[in-house]
Amino acid sequence: MNQKILVPDATGRVNSEVVKQLAAKGAYVVAGVRDLDAARSMGWRGVELTLLDYDHPATFNNALVDVDRLFLALPLDDPDAYESVIPLLEYARQVGVRHVVLLSAVGVERIRISPLRRVEQFLQNSRMIYTILRSGWFFQHFVDDEFIGQDVRQGFLRFSTGEAKVSFIDLRDAAAVGVIALTEDGHANKMYNVSAQVMDIVQIAEMLSKVLGRPIRYEQITDQEAMRVMRARGISREVAKWWGLTFQLMRQGAYSDAQLDISVVLGRPVITFKQFVQENIHAWD
């Protein structure tokens, strides 16, 4: 019998990809959602829907009935992520959830205030089996992030990362590693850095220029300028401060580590940034 796998916040971009891939693999997957009507529009087949809201613990009981495994992907820059998810994990431990797979991020161990690092530490001390996937930056940021996408359309990329090398990966590949950790043996109490390519923003701009057929220039700015840009775009001071620290750590090489050859885990080549840009070429029209 398939083990029952719960994916909370299942309409999120990473989580929905995990649900999709689990369903395609024939896994017994339950999508935890805050809005059942909205979730039905996702078009998932063979997926059980359940009401689950981090802010309403009364929803935990039904969502976690007979659940054996749990997948979590939390917003990288959400200062409340730890407080939101820990009650669910505490309840999961009490009712016998055996294995939790957490999608974390490369470099979180160097950010003392990182809520993701605190979730990692909770799992490591929880007595539940865990698998922690420290993912590189998603290629999808260059499309899904409204402001980065807008900058590319206008012909530039503006970051304070200097020429720092940064780990990148396609979201679909990161999700696929999570699905393998959930459905196959050999990943108990393991932590992996999950990356496909290590590049700097200069290389990103060069690849975008080559594929799009027009120049995309990299404008290197200071941390103070980056803070002003983020604040002007409506990003809170606390989140902007977090990103400023992240950019500093990037320049120090904290985000260039890529230990896991995920092509071996996936059994196929990884999706490259060039492929991603070619697939999404019209996103920057």
Distance of CA 107 to the CA centre of its chain: 13
Among residues 41, 37, 119, the alpha carbon closest in space to that of 81 is found at 119
Q: Residue 244: how many CB atoms within 10 A of its CB? A: 16
Asked whether residue 245 is assigned to any structural domain, the reply reads no
**Dihedral (C-alpha) 105, 51, 26, 95: value to the nearest 10 degrees?**
80
Q: Is 50 helix (H, G, I), strand (E, B) or coil?
A: strand
pLDDT of 263 reads 85
DSSP label at 270? Answer: P
pLDDT of 260 reads 57
CATH code of the domain containing 115:
3.40.50.720
DSSP label at 272? Answer: P
CB neighbours of 193 closer than 8 A, spacing ≥ 6?
Answer: 106, 134, 136, 167, 257, 258, 259, 260
**Tens place of pLDDT for every residue, the chain, 285 residues?**
479 999 999 999 999 999 999 999 999 999 999 999 989 999 899 999 999 999 999 999 999 999 999 999 987 667 788 888 999 999 999 999 999 999 998 888 887 778 889 999 999 999 999 999 999 999 999 999 999 999 999 999 999 998 899 999 999 999 999 999 999 999 999 998 888 899 999 999 999 999 999 999 999 999 999 999 889 989 888 888 878 888 888 898 877 765 556 888 888 999 999 999 999 999 999
- Tokens at 74, concatenated: 């939390």
Asked whether residue 157 is assigned to any structural domain, the reply reads no
Parent domain of 56: 4-135+170-194+257-266
**For residues 242 and 246, what is the distance between their CA atoms, to the nearest angstrom?**
6
pLDDT of 143 reads 96
Q: How many CA atoms lie within 13 A of 220 on its CB side?
A: 8
Contact assessment for residue 139 and residue 167, using Cβ atoms and an 8 Å cutoff: no
CB neighbours of 265 closer than 8 A, spacing ≥ 6?
Answer: 177, 180
Asked whether residue 242 is assigned to any structural domain, the reply reads no
Asked whether residue 216 is assigned to any structural domain, the reply reads no
Helices then strands, counting H and E runs in the chain, come out as 13, 13
In the block, residue with structure tokens 């979201």: 171
Q: What is the pTM of this model?
A: 0.93
pLDDT of 99 reads 98
Asked whether residue 75 is assigned to any structural domain, the reply reads yes
**For residues 114 and 116, what is the distance between their CA atoms, to the nearest angstrom?**
5
CB neighbours of 119 closer than 8 A, spacing ≥ 6?
Answer: 72, 74, 81, 82, 85, 86, 89, 102, 104
Asked whether residue 26 is assigned to any structural domain, the reply reads yes
For the chain, how many structural domains are there in total? Answer: 1
Asked whether residue 28 is assigned to any structural domain, the reply reads yes
Q: Identify the bridge partners of residue 132 per DSSP, sorted by sequence position.
A: 102, 191
Asked whether residue 15 is assigned to any structural domain, the reply reads yes
